[in-house]
A and B are shown apart, each in its own frame.
Chain A
Amino acid sequence: MNLINLLFEKGKEYNIEEMEVYINKNSSVDFNIYEGELEKYIVAEETGLSLRGIYNGKMGYSYTEKLWEENLDELIKNLIQYAENNHSETVEKIASLAGEKSEFIPRKNLLNKYTEEEKINYLLDLEKRAYAVDKRVKTISGCSYSESTNSVYIRNTKGLELESSHAIGMMNLGAVAEEGKNMQTGYSHIVFNDLKEEYKDILIKDSVGDALSMLGSDQAESSNYNIILRNNVAADMFSNFLPIFFGNTVQKGLSLMKGKIDTEVAVESFSIVEDPLMDNGKYYRTFDDEGTLTSEKYIIENGVLKTFLYSNKTAEKDEVSSTGNGFRNSHKSSIDTMSTNMYIKEGNKTLEDMVKEMENGIIITDIDGLHAGINPTSGNFSLLSKGLLVEDGEITRPISQITMAGNLYEMLKNIKIIGNDTKFSHPSSNYFGSPSIYVGKLTIAGK
């Protein structure tokens, strides 16, 4: 912390008016099991510092991972160069603490209960059980555990000082099944803050189950089909469309949600919630990276668009208050709009009920190519998919090598049924939960 005092003093000598440091610390352990052996084991201890400050009335940014006194000049000079080239009309401000400072109460880290040996044994057992499910399980291609404690510390020359820390665990399980010359894969993951025994069954059912059920799959005839997006597919897809609810995307004219506040954008049963303090969430934050308090809120409530997500800068442009969504991706990124934990509110139907009601169509169980196959601006998507054909209310055969195409905005208004089986998207992108959804008709290209 002496380094920060020194940095603030040095900054003043360089005529920087206000300054703020953001320090990101991560300490993590990752390992994976392959054929009954500990194959990889990774330990990390890292710290990154980001500096921002007002120079000649403009905000400048810079970062370093070289937290050495002799490197402070370079850090400040980079900030000044940024400020000199910052010609943005909206002037970003460094905030003093808004309202009463609330004490940050960290969530109890329940992963500390277990020794490292217990965690490794848990995973060894998971792999063993996954192999034991069926003779056609050729390889458990991924069986990994990771645990990280992330902390954020913010301090500025206006008296703001905040600290937050959160530990989460994550497991992945990937399975390859083989029958004759046909190979199929399945994949599952889970984010948690306590290592429960029941997670093993969930992970195995999702990955090994998918690999086995896809064996012998074939293309479907090209046509329009009734479609159920299974929970994992709906979650991954919506997660990638989330930027259309961000204030900056809307302000740039890149979201068709623009101008739709308080109007119906989806069917009545459809609601999206953001919960920064959710149980088993990827995030646990009481304030954002600008010092604004976070809150639980509806983005869409009963089909009506309620709010966009804002940072200070984008809120000012729309003459509203920040929603506490001004975050940095890391110490290397400036303040941007980001979501914390978000999910679609569940309905009360099971996937089986939905399949019966749909009668004929396809359950999409896996999608690929999300980084290129969707266009958030237009809402169009066209994705490599796998699924299960449904005829007369029964699953009849697996389907692969098809594409599913449609438009998000149209789909939101055609939703037929929302399920009760929420799954969360892979935490490497926006963290988003969704139950299975019967979305009506979409275009399938295959044979």
Chain B
Amino acid sequence: MLNKSIIQDIFFEALSSGGDFCEVFMEDNFSTEIATLGGNIERGMSGRDFGIGIRVFKGLSSVYGYTNDLSHENLINITRRITKAFKGNKNDIVFNFDKNVSPVNHPYVNLPSTVDLSKKVEFAKRAYRAGMDYDEKIVQMTVNYLDQEQNVLIANTEGVYVEDKRVRTRMLIIAAAEHNGQIETGYIGPGALMGTEFYEKIDIEDYAREAARNAKTMAMADYCPAGNMPVVVDNGFGGLMIHEACGHSLEASSVAKGLSVFSNRIGEKIASDVVTLVDDGSIVNSWGSLGVDDEGMRTQKNVLIENGILKGYMIDKLNARRMNMEPTASGRRQNYRFAPTSRMSNTYIDNGTSTKEEIIGNTEKGLFAKYISAGSVNPATGDFNFSLSEAYLIENGKITKPVKGATLIGNGTKFLQDIDMVGNNLSIGQGYCYAASGALFIGAGQPTLRVKNMTVGGRE
């Protein structure tokens, strides 16, 4: 990685024209990302991402430069280019790298760069075979395999000099089923912040059969009826609903400028009593975790909502200045090409006291959302939407027939008040989140819960 004297030269240049803070983020990342179809590699490759991002603040202004030419001359030149907009005097700060940060330990065994590609392809093939063998309606299995060995160095003028090694892997298993000429897909994506030993800890075949079952069920399903109804969302990645409905609106990137429906509302009751919401980037080996965040702060558990009361936001360094609050280890970025901003890590609704059976049994007529595929939100209005990849009707307190093509829409403020039952079976699923600082690995989780009224969009 970069030696301290070059970093000091960058800092010196950065603060020579009025800048008051400088940070260097260096990344050397080996990764494999392949898509397999029918058990064969279809796309993708292995390779190395390598570069540096330099960020300088002056008050609330932030400038950023990134490059993968690490020559001393180029780094100083980039620093000079980004800071030329600042007009001011040299800031005398002594850079001594004396702040001790110890990253949360996420143990790993097999580093992706040391595992032959044939082993990785074999993991994908196992999923392919198990899925195809599940049922004759399964016409295709696409399996995407991903791993990363991301080495980062983060240093700043406040004395931080910390390295973090993020080792992670995930498999995305997509099954396609055909019934009467209609093709529907089902998918599942187990992943973790650890090496390829992850695949010895999980049952790949079981996951593949689950994706296949999902696809087959949907291929044979009728269209979802449109209208307003209670919705029961199952545990696990169903947590993406709260991620969209209120998670993004609690990120400092929208809160700081007063652009969130939850700006300036700490201490207020914003959700029903049964809702406790947490963002925790320190959960050991969890997909959305890190040792330190991408601003060099040890990751931690942040309680956002407790029994319906707004307790805190997710805050990065720059927005902390605007808000006069402390950062919460929520500064994240996809890679050195992005300046970090406040983002979610593993976000979940904590356990309540109901059982799943009670929740469904108490719902006379409604929709049961087993799997959510994806969603999005407009933080200023709080309007959100997401699509279901597996859903069923609830009739007389029982789950009945499967339905497809459902989109759920709602508004964050009303939605939080409308959660009226929370189960006791919390689990966290794995996915991605796309926003200002790039695509990030996130966990989203919850117990089974009920929203008493939502608008369901469909074709019938």
Is A443's CB under 8 angstroms from B46's CB?
Answer: no
Q: How many residues of B contact A (CB 8 A)?
A: 74
Q: With A368-B385, A405-B405, A445-B226 known to touch, is A81 a contact of B116 (CB < 8 Å)?
A: yes
Are A372 and B117 in contact (CB-based, < 8 A)? no
Assess whether A113 is interfacial by the CB under 8 Å rule: no
Please determine whether A43 and B78 come into contact, CB atoms closer than 8 angstroms.
Answer: yes
- Interface segment, one of A62-70, A225-233, A260-268, A319-327: A62-70
Q: Give per-residue flags for B48-62: 1 if the beta carbon is below 8 A from chain A beta carbons, else 0.
A: 111100000000111
| B37-49 vs A, Cβ < 8 Å mask (1 yes, 0 no) | 1011111111111
Are A85 and B62 neighbours in the complex by a CB distance under 8 Å? no
Of B66-74, B97-105, B204-212, which stretch is located at the interface?
B66-74
In the complex, which residues of chain B have a beta carbon less than 8 angstroms from the beta carbon of A106? none
Whether B51 lies near A46 (C-beta < 8 A) is yes
With known contacts A38-B85, A65-B49, A78-B47, A45–B78 Cβ distance under 8 A: yes
Overall SS of chain B's interface: strand
Indicate if B378 sits at the interface (CB-CB under 8 A): yes
Point out the residues of chain B lying under 8 angstroms from A375, CB to CB: 405
- Chain A binding surface SS class: strand
Any chain B CB within 8 A of the CB of A40? Answer: yes
- A446 interfacial by beta-carbon distance below 8 Å: yes
- The total of chain A residues at the interface (CB under 8 A) is 71
Q: Which residues of B contact A85 (CB under 8 A)?
A: 41, 117-118, 121
Are A40 and B44 in contact, CB atoms less than 8 angstroms apart?
A: no
Nearest-Cβ distance from residue B315 to partner chain A, whole angstroms: 18
Complex-state Cα separation, A334 to B46, whole angstroms: 11
B74 touches A45 (CB 8 A): yes
> Known contacts A39-B60, A222-B227; is A369 also within 8 Å of B48 by CB?
no
Query: In the assembly, what is the distance between CA of A86 and CA of B35, in Å?
Result: 12
Determine the chain B residues whose CB is within 8 A of the CB of A132 once the complex forms.
none
Instruction: Say if the beta carbon of A139 comes within 8 Å of chain B.
Output: yes
Task: Determine if B324 is an interface residue (Cβ-Cβ < 8 Å).
Answer: no
Smallest distance from the beta carbon of B374 to chain A beta carbons, Å? Answer: 4
B83 and chain A: residue at smallest CB distance: A41
Contact A40 B339 (CB under 8 A): yes
Q: Which residues of B contact A38 (CB under 8 A)?
A: 61, 85
The residues of A with any CB-CB pair to B shorter than 8 Å are 34, 37-48, 50, 61-67, 71, 74-75, 78, 81-82, 84-88, 139, 141, 176, 183-185, 219, 222, 252-254, 332-334, 336, 368-369, 371-373, 375, 377-378, 380, 382-384, 400-407, 443, 445-447
Binding site for A on B (CB under 8 A): 28, 33, 37, 39-51, 60-69, 74, 78, 81-82, 85, 116-118, 121, 139-140, 176, 182-185, 226-228, 257-259, 261, 337, 339, 373-376, 378, 380-381, 383-387, 405-407, 409-411, 455-459
Which A-B residue pairs are the 4 nearest by beta carbons? A403-B457, A63-B47, A372-B374, A384-B385
